[in-house]
Structure 1
Amino acid sequence: MNKLLQASDQSQSSQDVCFVNMPLSGLERPSIALGQLQALLTGAGISTKSIYANLWFAEYFGLELSRVLQTVPPEDALVDWLFGAAAFPDFSPDHDLYLALMEKKAPQLGRAGITSEILLDLRGKIQAFTDWTADKILRRSPRIVGCTSTFQQHVPALALLRRIKQIAPDVVTMLGGANCETTMGLTTHSHFTWVDYVVSGEADSFIVPFMQDVLDTGCEIEAEDLPFGVMGPIHRLAGYPVTDQGDGVPRAITQDARNLPLPDYDDYFEELRQFLYSSVIEPGLPMEFSRGCWWGAKSHCTFCGLNGGSMAYRARAPETVVPDMTALTSRYNVDRVEAVDNIMDLRYFKTVLPELTEREKPFRLFFETKANLKKDQVKALADAGVIWIQPGIESLDSRILTLMGKGCTAAQNIMLLKWCRQFGVRASWSIISHFPGEEDSWYETMAELVPALTHLQPGNMVPLRFDRYSPYFTRPQAYKLKLKPAERYRYAYPLSDEHLFRQVYFFENEADTDPADRPGVKSMRAAMTNWLKAWRNGPPPVLSMTATQEALVLEDSRPGGVTMLLTGLHRSVLELSDDGPSEHQVIKTLTETGHTEEEVLEVMAELEAQKFLIRIDGRIIGLALTAPHQPVPLPSAFPGGSIASGRDKLGTLLAAF
């Protein structure tokens, strides 16, 4: 074991409850799930400790490895597979076949020098890490050990709880989080018997009395005394509860989250101060201001599996948002706040944002938003310190957006990218491909747009993933789908096909005969790659306009662009197109000033050929920013925290010795 880690082990005071954040989860932020539960329990006098085993993992195996593993999509189940021997010692999947799949699915591992041999060796070392982690936790003499599980934390959590139960059978074990909702929680509880209690859904409303009952009676709680959504040992004998909602398995919902306390992140920051790589961590603070999705409650996006079985939007009162931000950021001396809400409350534009704008020292904020934000709304976000948004831009073709049920158009998405670049708000977005019912030619059309957009922030391109709870999952016949668990899960869990279907979150279309690299998709992927390269290989391209009395000066540093002067009708068309009006409105305005429709259309075509504007969805969008525009924040400025770039310097130093 790492001698540095041995040196850091000290005798610990005992706790009633230890909550554990297992790998793999972000090192640069605390767990809001554990922080909220700890605040509730501590406030009720139940001694509670949050354990950040994800930080221990990075110390144990090195920061660089931990960071590379974070780049692997959760449906590839790599971290679950790595912890498989520790969780399921009698399960022996075909490692060669799994690793061959991973070489194809995750080429970034090979580029980072992480070969199949290294991964197999790492899998063999996980048991020692799990044993060490369990021993370190048990030194606190906890009576309850619970893990949170999201994405690739599930098998690591099962491995740890199995070891805890082996060493200390009297310790009560628990598991909760997104991976435990409804049938996933039931399957976990019924198959992995070393987990005493599994919580399906939101535990805020009952966590205090439930934990007190467990402290008083251990595993002997009767079924009628368990909260709705909690599965306990009695259910393995008496049968599991059912409900007429969703998939038939109970899911707890906190109807009123307005009076929940602020999360307690003390243990994270205490651990971070001792973390070997603390010098490269810039932490962010996750905060929650609402649950559910007001748009999803109206129109559920076909691919979205968030919120389990409840889209009902439940928001905190706007007047509490800024005081809560102020209190939490002051407590930890951190000005970065990541709102973990699925979507921002629209009331904030009239309430929260003006209040934030008046602050002498702004926060650095992240919110998820809808993509149909207008120019003044993006400016309001920027003025309030919202430097980063995730707006749900998943396509630049309105026909595909209609298939998704997004409630916005390609024109609106492009306009949002323009205003984000104008006001210096960074946007995270992706093009998603392979939707049921789409046509490949639509991607060719999109690819033709991209060269005109390269001065705007690029996104990624990813294939569609089928998530549990999404309309694609709940109504597969309507979309001619036949879903099966993502292939890599077979190498992570010792379950039959039937039970694996109930256990996992990500799925594939078994009936898919669509080639992965259709010509249109391939063209769009190439266009997106070139767009990304334009931003990575030097200063980002610019297309901006400055109005003078004589002309409109266009500065164009996109590939092949030059500085130009526009006068007369050309200037008028571009200036009128700035806010993305309808093409009809621009023609009407200009013909009323003496121009013919033919003249206007001819100039529009010229400006479109020069990539100064685009015509889409019946709108005409001038692409030039108005000088001066604000710089876009660097990736390291992400409000949810960041890790400084560069190799694992300590690991390099130790290797040299």
Structure 2
Amino acid sequence: MSADVQIVLVNMPMSAIERPSLALGLLKSVLTRAGLRSKIVYANIWFLEYAGLADYNMLEGSPPEDALVDWLFAGIAFPDFEADHDVFLDRYFERNPIHPNKGLAERRAHFRELRSLIGGFIDWTADKILEQRPAMVGCTSTFTQHVPSLALLRRLSERSPGLVTLMGGANCESVMGRTTHARFPWVDYVVSGEADALIGALCCDILNHGRDIPSADLPFGVFGPGHREAGYPATSMGDSVPRAVVENMDNLPLPDFSDYFAELGRSLYADRVYPGLPMEFSRGCWWGARSPCTFCGLNGGSMTYRQKPAGQAAEEMIEMSARYGSSRIEAVDNILALDYVEKTLPRLTALPDKLAIFFEVKANLKRHEVEKLAAAGVRWIQPGIESLDTRALKLMGKGTTSAHNVQLLKWCRQYGVRVSWSILWGFPGESDAWYGEMASWLPLLHHLQPGHAVRLRYQRYSPYHRAADKHGLKLRPAASYRSVYPLSEPDLADQVYYFEDCEDSDVGGHFAARDANRRPGLHAVTQGIDAWLKAWYEPKLPMLSMRDSGDEITVEDTRAIAVEPEHRVKSLAREILLAADEGMPDARLRERLSTANVMQTEIDEAIADMIARKLIVRLDARLVGLPLWNPYTPMPAPTAFPGGYFDRRVMPVRPPRE
């Protein structure tokens, strides 16, 4: 880094090393536009080298609500806080069963050793930053980055008292940011909300006035030293804490990722990282503004949907790909804009060399929309499937059905689009019987891409958090945070992102075998998902596909549940299979066939035959056909994720870093 850097922006652990920080890349571009010199430090990459691959993988996979990363860094962030570490570790291992080949005592000792080594990493990181003689250092904080960021900024303030410190990011929104600022005085400024429109002017003022900016002169959504004396501003919206919002995204600059690629090029792990480019085309959620999903807190204090013009989105993807030499584009949007299918995809489809793109979408996409996405290079989506039971989906407010979700999985396998999805469990008001019913037909889907069974998490800002009483919940901060933060219970409730129901008897995010008798339906689903995943680890993936000659459909079936390896489907059965391919309502199919003078008994027999052959399933009063059409497009490998891929399989030799 050059010696004339004014502002250092830091990306602390844990943040994926296979992609740059979109937030900091965008802020750097805004600062450059304001005439300020800044540098982004990727301390998350440094931490990988410091901790080693095995421990990094373990920490990255640790559930964030169990606060393991926060606990490791808490000794530096809060050196005077003496928590009961045995209580923390007891809870952690109860919620996260250890590997059978690892002794519990050995794991506990290792975690304590890791915690003792964090000070060395923070000191080393602080040294590297202070070498640049910056006037300001800011950290972005999302998920498990909060306590690591507090630890670094505390050490920097101790080492360089004149240095001005800042924090922002999702963990600093509204009441979380206010609590961070009020309780941790070594953080001089905190931005609550979206900083893009205000960061340039704010940093200019800080460079001129340091910590002495009057409270009244700070932008809306920014907390400064003066607020600790004069009190914090309030609004009439939401939780009454100011939150900065960018109303129009059209003029935001493209993010600057140059520091990431420079740092990655110096990393010992450079040859194992295939970077993706995170990009943003919208903020908020148009579906959530209509019907918020009960569990989702990702939009913070504002669900208001804003998007970039469809044509601009395509051109920005093309420009960023050319600038950084990567075809992998990860859209971080909560949901695909409604007009992008018709107005953005054609430009991308026309490219001679396709990009590899990821989008989050709503699960009620039509077949032709999935086909258009695939043709444009969108080879990976996260559709918010969340369950294969319509009653559970209704509890979530998803606005989709089991039939929608199965059809989408089928079309994605048809057109070679990989899907990130899961079956969430643990919802207030759910019935275990629903899971038992779902488990009975999961084997029919083994030719489609499997998901995972995941325990529901209670997040701040979600409807479950905002209206806990309405849902019969008594939420409190996740208990692990009591071993992390030196805060009172009310302050802790204002600081953390994850909560738990104090009357919930489920333990952790893993469904334990000991709970099988209490929840046999859920136990059957978790076993069914395991069997489905296992089928996809076989050398040859299961397949159910069909060809139509016009008179006869030939179906080939290699699923473990197959009745026959080949089916010949003719006449009435063929008509039913074709109708089921589109997920036709049972009643509509019967009405159509009855006009052709087909007897109801014949229809009943033909449908029963197709169900018995396991070629269709009845969901939500619809007949859903399961076979793909042959030919079908191969799916991208898991290593092709557009957000980047990090090959963790081999440990490189680690020479000492200068």
TM-score normalized by the length of structure 2:
0.95
Equivalent residue for 1:214, pick from 199, 203, 206: 206
Deviation (angstroms), 1:514: 6.6
> Does the CA contact (< 8 Å) of 2:314 and 2:345 recur in 1?
no
User: Equivalent residue for 1:639?
Assistant: 642
User: Equivalent residue for 1:491?
Assistant: 483
> Does the CA contact (< 8 Å) of 1:103 and 1:110 recur in 2?
no
Amino acid at match of 1:571: R
User: Equivalent residue for 1:551?
Assistant: 552
**Aligned counterparts of 2:144 and 2:368: Cα–Cα separation in 1:** 39
Deviation (angstroms), 1:392: 0.4
User: Equivalent residue for 2:62?
Assistant: 72
Deviation (angstroms), 1:588: 2.5
- Match status 1:253 vs 2:245: yes
**Worse-superposed segment, 378-387 or 73-82:** 73-82
**Aligned counterparts of 1:557 and 1:543: Cα–Cα separation in 2:** 6
**Aligned counterparts of 2:268 and 2:504: Cα–Cα separation in 1:** 46
User: Equivalent residue for 2:90?
Assistant: 100
**Aligned counterparts of 2:641 and 2:366: Cα–Cα separation in 1:** 23
Per-residue CA deviations over 1:237-265 (Å, capped at 9, x if unaligned) read 11111111111111111111110000000
**Aligned counterparts of 1:224 and 1:162: Cα–Cα separation in 2:** 26
Equivalent residue for 2:46, pick from 30, 49, 56: 56
User: Equivalent residue for 2:437?
Assistant: 445
TM-score normalized by the length of structure 1:
0.95
Amino acid at match of 1:557: T
Map 1:296-375 onto structure 2 (within 5 A): 296-375=288-367
Deviation (angstroms), 1:537: 2.7
Equivalent residue for 2:5, pick from 15, 24, 27: 15
User: Equivalent residue for 2:135?
Assistant: 143
Amino acid at match of 1:37: L
Amino acid at match of 1:565: R
> Does the CA contact (< 8 Å) of 2:34 and 2:201 recur in 1?
no
Per-residue CA deviations over 1:191-212 (Å, capped at 9, x if unaligned) read 1111101111001111111100
User: Equivalent residue for 2:619?
Assistant: 616
What's the secondary structure of 1:545's corresponding residue? strand
What's the secondary structure of 2:364's corresponding residue? coil
> Does the CA contact (< 8 Å) of 2:28 and 2:39 recur in 1?
yes
Per-residue CA deviations over 1:257-277 (Å, capped at 9, x if unaligned) read 110000000000000111110
Per-residue CA deviations over 1:47-101 (Å, capped at 9, x if unaligned) read 0000000000011121332122111121111111111111111122222222222
- Match status 1:239 vs 2:239: no
Deviation (angstroms), 1:111: 6.4
Query: Relative to structure 1, is the Cα distance of residues 282 and 528 closer, same or farther in structure 2, using a 3 angstrom cutoff?
Result: same
> Does the CA contact (< 8 Å) of 2:476 and 2:493 recur in 1?
yes
Query: Relative to structure 1, is the Cα distance of residues 246 and 161 closer, same or farther in structure 2, using a 3 angstrom cutoff?
Result: same
- Match status 1:287 vs 2:279: yes
**Aligned counterparts of 1:104 and 1:382: Cα–Cα separation in 2:** 43
- Match status 1:131 vs 2:123: yes
**Aligned counterparts of 1:83 and 1:189: Cα–Cα separation in 2:** 18
**Aligned counterparts of 1:92 and 1:12: Cα–Cα separation in 2:** 40
User: Equivalent residue for 2:374?
Assistant: 382
Per-residue CA deviations over 1:465-492 (Å, capped at 9, x if unaligned) read 1110011111111111110111211122
Q: How many residues align?
A: 643
User: Equivalent residue for 2:80?
Assistant: 90
**Aligned counterparts of 1:579 and 1:645: Cα–Cα separation in 2:** 41
Map 1:28-43 onto structure 2 (within 5 A): 28-43=18-33
Deviation (angstroms), 1:12: 4.5
Deviation (angstroms), 1:571: 2.3
**Worse-superposed segment, 127-136 or 540-549:** 540-549
- Match status 1:588 vs 2:580: no
Percent of aligned pairs with the same residue? 50
> Does the CA contact (< 8 Å) of 1:87 and 1:158 recur in 2?
yes
Amino acid at match of 1:262: L
User: Equivalent residue for 1:454?
Assistant: 446
**Aligned counterparts of 2:645 and 2:99: Cα–Cα separation in 1:** 21
The RMSD of aligned alpha carbons is: 1.6
Deviation (angstroms), 1:553: 1.5
**Worse-superposed segment, 56-65 or 614-623:** 56-65
> Does the CA contact (< 8 Å) of 1:68 and 1:112 recur in 2?
no
**Worse-superposed segment, 590-599 or 156-165:** 590-599
Per-residue CA deviations over 1:475-516 (Å, capped at 9, x if unaligned) read 111111110111211122111211111110011011225787
What's the secondary structure of 1:13's corresponding residue? coil
- Match status 1:568 vs 2:568: no
**Aligned counterparts of 2:177 and 2:162: Cα–Cα separation in 1:** 22
What's the secondary structure of 2:581's corresponding residue? coil
> Does the CA contact (< 8 Å) of 1:63 and 1:277 recur in 2?
no
Deviation (angstroms), 1:430: 0.7
Amino acid at match of 1:212: C
**Aligned counterparts of 1:538 and 1:609: Cα–Cα separation in 2:** 28
Amino acid at match of 1:648: M
Query: Relative to structure 1, is the Cα distance of residues 257 and 472 closer, same or farther in structure 2, using a 3 angstrom cutoff?
Result: same
**Aligned counterparts of 2:54 and 2:637: Cα–Cα separation in 1:** 21
Amino acid at match of 1:460: H
**Worse-superposed segment, 571-580 or 212-221:** 571-580
> Does the CA contact (< 8 Å) of 2:17 and 2:45 recur in 1?
yes
Deviation (angstroms), 1:405: 0.9
Amino acid at match of 1:532: L
Query: Relative to structure 1, is the Cα distance of residues 569 and 520 closer, same or farther in structure 2, using a 3 angstrom cutoff?
Result: same
**Worse-superposed segment, 363-372 or 497-506:** 497-506
**Aligned counterparts of 1:206 and 1:181: Cα–Cα separation in 2:** 15
- Match status 1:177 vs 2:162: no
